[in-house]
Amino acid sequence: MTKIFAHRGSAGTHPENTMIAFYEAERVEADGIELDVQMTKDGALVVIHDETIDRTTDGTGWVKDFIYKELQQFNAVYKFAEQYDFCRIPLLEEVLQWIEPTELLLNIELKNGLIEYKKLEEKVIDMVRHYHLEHRVVLSSFNHNSMALCHRLAPEIETAILYMKSLCQPWKYMRAIGASGLHPYHGTVTESFVRQAHDHRVAVRPFTINKAGLMKKMFQYQVDAIFTDYPSKAKQLLNNQKT
């Protein structure tokens, strides 16, 4: 059965990558959440998609140029000001603490495609281990060297590679990295590709699947999971198919 990951929490209906969005994912019974991690100047792991805070908060500047104490003053829900009071950018640690007693799965996307944050991999892995979440977490990144490093550092944690265009010799490439999950742009995914992946014991979890027609297609292909901004809609469709 295809699992539903709430992308950036439930970004279609709630402020992305905030605790509000993560609570919503749990409320609608998503199987898991996906979030993005960047690092501050003083090495704090923060949950935010972009390298800058401009799009999602009332502040401006690069995450890497703030210490966490400074970053805390910006409102991550300012676009939803009529609905929510001030809410800061969450720390990865807060999310792990909250998720630990739940049964939710977690995909931590390391946002190190543009900036190579020093020791990002080690810090994320330490934190996952601290909360004993090794078997509920998938680490992913568009930076495939980073995933190879994660696999070397923590072979017990699943790693997955994100990509936009189809890969050349994907199974050989996966083996070289040590990854066991593929997180492709959905446009590259076909039914026969999913079948081949499963023959190679590789999980396929395409992003970002928001339209009902596309959701149904991915369910029919039997992908392992989808990332969607609308987990409630996806759950409903999936439940309807079961009955």
Q: Classify burial at 106, counting beta carbons within 10 Å of its beta carbon; exposed 0-12, middle 13-18, buried 19 or more.
A: buried
- Give the residue closest to ligand G3P by C-beta: 207
Q: Which residue has the tokens 């605790």?
A: 19
Taking CB under 5 A as the rule, does residue 109 contact Mg ion? yes
228 bridge partner residues: 6
Nearest CA to 215 out of 226, 205, 224 is that of: 226
Half-sphere exposure at residue 184, Cβ-oriented, CA atoms within 13 angstroms: 21
The alpha-carbon radius of gyration of the chain (Å, integer) is: 17
Residues touching ligand G3P, count (CB under 6 A): 11
Say which amino acid occupies 26.
Answer: E
Q: Interacting stretch for Mg ion, rule CB under 5 A, among 57-65, 104-112, 215-223, 232-240? A: 104-112
Q: Which is nearer to ligand G3P, 36 or 121 (CB)?
A: 36
- Near ligand G3P by CB under 6 A: residue from 22, 66, 117, 207: 207
The phi, psi pair for 31, rounded to 5°, reads: -80, -30
Compute the distance between CA of residue 100 and CA of residue 183 in angstroms, rounded to an integer.
24
Q: Which is nearer to Mg ion, 36 or 229 (CB)?
A: 36
The entry of Mg ion, ligand G3P, none that residue 162 binds, CB within 5 to 8 Å by partner kind: ligand G3P
Mask of contacts with ligand G3P, 213-242, x by CB under 6 A?
A: --------------x---------------
Beta strands in the chain (DSSP E): 3-7, 32-39, 45-47, 105-110, 137-141, 158-163, 181-184, 203-204, 225-228
Q: Is 7 a catalytic residue?
A: yes
Taking CB under 5 A as the rule, does residue 16 contact Mg ion? no
CB of residue 215 vs ligand G3P: minimum separation in angstroms? 15
Other Cβ atoms within 10 Å of 76 Cβ, number = 28
Taking CB under 6 A as the rule, does residue 38 contact ligand G3P? no
The entry of ligand G3P, Mg ion, none that residue 183 binds, CB within 5 to 8 Å by partner kind: ligand G3P
Residues 17-76 that bind Mg ion (CB under 5 A): 36
Residues near ligand G3P (CB under 6 A) are: 7, 34, 36, 49, 109, 140, 162, 183, 207-208, 227
Give the catalytic positions in this structure: 7, 49
